[in-house]
Amino acid sequence: MIEGKPLTLFNSLTRSAEHFEPVHPGEARVYSCGPTVYNYPHIGNMRAYVFADVLGRALSFKGFRLTHVINITDVGHLTDDADAGEDKLEKAAAAQSQSIWDIAKHYTEAYWADIRALNIRQPAEWSVATDYIEPMLEFAKAIAPEHCYELDSGLYFDVSTVADYGRLARAVTDEGEGRIEEVEGKRHPADFAIWRKTPAGETRQMEWDSPWGRGAPGWHLECSVMSGKLLGFPFDIHTGGIDHREIHHPNEIAQNQAFCHTGSLDEADHSGAKLWMHNNFLVERSGKMSKSSGEFLRLQLLIDKGYHPLAYRMMCLQAHYRSELEFSWDGLGAALTRLKRLVMAAEAARARHAQGGHEPVVEPEGGWNFAWLHDHLGGTLRPLVIRFDDAISDDLNTAVALTVLEDLLSLKKMPSGEVLAAMAAMDAVLGLGLASLTRAELRLRPKDAQVSEAEIDAALVRRKEARAARDFATSDAIRDEMAAKGVDMMDGDPLGWEWRLG
């Protein structure tokens, strides 16, 4: 089988690009830290899942059988990653006078709606933390004698009991990364709770019995347990946003080392996974994206303003996942225009294929992958496929891969079946839905638009008539009237659009 260029991925643990060598031949097992479902995700959060999705799609394209797990955190994540504050879900439930279960259900469904809207493939498993309390207790019991100590507030992990604690964060000292939450009796500032006891006299909505008293698991424990249980240690790749490199993942790694009796992190797989990968942040000009400050950037807000959600996916793909990406409405608009052009070219290729009376292009058994493409495409298209594979294999360089897809769709004289097959395979990695998306579907109406499409169409007809009669005053008046309602009439638009919502 022709595999193309070796897949190279950046390992945050070694801070270097490495060839991907699976633990189990032919397979790829990936765990992604999922959302804490106490609020709607912002589009920055969704960047983490677009990245994990592209990674999974790239692994499939390279011929690996993918098992992807994303977790849903419905308990244990405190308002501060460094072991301080309140449980995010308890707090949200109290503020909204609802049960935690209802809060978790509502925000999980909202998150899944965003997942679907962004064409993110369903993982093999959505693992929900509260379904794994028993295995969490087993895991904690297994590591407690050698690695933990008990305080009034809970069971704590002693980070000095494992080799190379904190290497992932490259924290120089215990004081690094603002991780100090002074809990009386903690042996080291970086020690963290793996089980948090319910304070005497209080009850929590979510609490369970344990050898250390009633309480709830720590957030870090959850991910160690679910990843190990569902994928087996060591598995291939663990992903998350770059903030997780500082506290959450170093703590998961320490627990995994304790559980697996592994030593130095000079061997990356002693950490529980061969590769730790992190996407950089989506930021706003004012700084870090937040759910509380200013306009809360949810995907639904983009949609309400008339931007198709896949324009946001396009925006993510244009940047490298390890670069910071600054959000702007202009940038989103440009991404939408680029997507429109691709969609129009894809529609034209589909139309050409249908007019030629050809059979529809169907996905090969085993999915679209490089080996199939290489074997089935003629000599002219093959170099494009190789360029695409080179880009994706180079630590998921989607920005370059997109330009190759554009080059492909600008070819006019190639057999349409081959062009469509190559397009489908490239889009199987990029996930822009080019096999079926239409120009009409991309044109969303802003929620607050004051004008109906019928009204716009009628205005277009009146304006055309006025222009045909060389009555430019009327024509201009109609244009101004529509502009006042937020509709720009576009004369001679290169994309062939007659109007757009301004």
The residues that touch ligand AMP, with contacts defined as CB under 6 A, are 33, 35-36, 44-45, 47-48, 240-241, 243-244, 279, 281-282, 289
Task: State which residue, 190 or 226, has the beta carbon closest to Zn ion.
Answer: 226
Cα 343 to Cα 119, 423, 437, distances in angstroms = 15, 11, 7
154, containing H or E segment: strand 154-157
Nearest to 9 by CA among 65, 52, 69: 52
CB of 223 to Zn ion, least distance (A): 3
Find which of Zn ion, ligand AMP, none residue 419 binds, CB within 5 to 8 Å per kind: none
Three-state SS across 14-42?
CCEEEECCCCCCCEEEEEECCCECCCCCC
CB of 285 to ligand AMP, least distance (A): 13
Find which of ligand AMP, Zn ion, none residue 243 binds, CB within 5 to 8 Å per kind: ligand AMP
Which residues, listed in sequence order, are joined to residue 287 by a DSSP beta bridge?
284
CB of 136 to ligand AMP, least distance (A): 18
Task: State which residue, 111 or 165, has the beta carbon closest to ligand AMP.
Answer: 111
Q: Which residues contact 36 (CB under 8 A, 6 or more apart)?
A: 73, 74, 77, 88, 89, 219
CB of 15 to ligand AMP, least distance (A): 18
CB of 227 to Zn ion, least distance (A): 8
127, containing H or E segment: strand 125-128
Nearest to 52 by CA among 240, 229, 325, 317: 240
Task: State which residue, 34 or 431, has the beta carbon closest to ligand AMP.
Answer: 34
Find which of ligand AMP, Zn ion, none residue 339 binds, CB within 5 to 8 Å per kind: none
CB of 149 to ligand AMP, least distance (A): 27
Task: State which residue, 71 or 153, has the beta carbon closest to Zn ion.
Answer: 71
Task: State which residue, 35 or 234, has the beta carbon closest to ligand AMP.
Answer: 35
Find which of ligand AMP, Zn ion, none residue 223 binds, CB within 5 to 8 Å per kind: Zn ion
CB of 462 to Zn ion, least distance (A): 58
Establish if 37 lies at the interface with Zn ion (CB under 5 A): no
Find which of ligand AMP, Zn ion, none residue 388 binds, CB within 5 to 8 Å per kind: none
CA dihedral (467, 469, 472, 474) in degrees, to 10, reads: -90
CB of 337 to ligand AMP, least distance (A): 23
Q: Tokens 């895991």 appear where?
A: 139
Task: State which residue, 36 or 262, has the beta carbon closest to ligand AMP.
Answer: 36
Find which of Zn ion, ligand AMP, none residue 320 binds, CB within 5 to 8 Å per kind: none
Contacts to Zn ion from residues 219-258, by CB under 5 A: 223
Task: State which residue, 157 or 281, has the beta carbon closest to ligand AMP.
Answer: 281
Q: Where are the beta strands (DSSP E) in 250-316?
A: 273-279, 282-284, 287-288
Contacts to Zn ion from residues 187-226, by CB under 5 A: 223
Residues 73-111, buried b or exposed e (16+ Cβ, 10 A)?
bbbbbbeebbbeeebbbbbbbeeeeeebeebbebbbebb
78, containing H or E segment: strand 78-80
Q: Which amino acid is at 296?
A: F
DSSP 6: P
Find which of Zn ion, ligand AMP, none residue 234 binds, CB within 5 to 8 Å per kind: none
CB of 359 to ligand AMP, least distance (A): 42
Nearest to 249 by CA among 288, 218, 225, 223: 223
Find which of ligand AMP, Zn ion, none residue 47 binds, CB within 5 to 8 Å per kind: ligand AMP
- Cβ pair 22, 236 in contact under 8 A: yes
Contacts to Zn ion from residues 41-70, by CB under 5 A: none
Find which of ligand AMP, Zn ion, none residue 55 binds, CB within 5 to 8 Å per kind: none
Sign of CA dihedral 325, 331, 337, 340: positive
DSSP 161: G
d(CA 101, CA 99): 5
Task: State which residue, 167 or 340, has the beta carbon closest to Zn ion.
Answer: 167
Task: State which residue, 33 or 225, has the beta carbon closest to Zn ion.
Answer: 33
- Which residue has the CB atom at the shortest distance from ligand AMP? 241
Nearest to 196 by CA among 294, 298, 109, 83: 83
Residues 28-48, buried b or exposed e (16+ Cβ, 10 A)?
bbbbbbbbbbbbbbbbbbbbb
Find which of ligand AMP, Zn ion, none residue 289 binds, CB within 5 to 8 Å per kind: ligand AMP
CB of 218 to ligand AMP, least distance (A): 14
Find which of Zn ion, ligand AMP, none residue 281 binds, CB within 5 to 8 Å per kind: ligand AMP
Task: State which residue, 166 or 309, has the beta carbon closest to Zn ion.
Answer: 166
d(CA 224, CA 262): 14
CB of 33 to ligand AMP, least distance (A): 5
Size of the site for Zn ion (CB under 5 A): 2
Establish if 33 lies at the interface with Zn ion (CB under 5 A): yes
Binding positions for Zn ion, rule: CB under 5 A = 33, 223
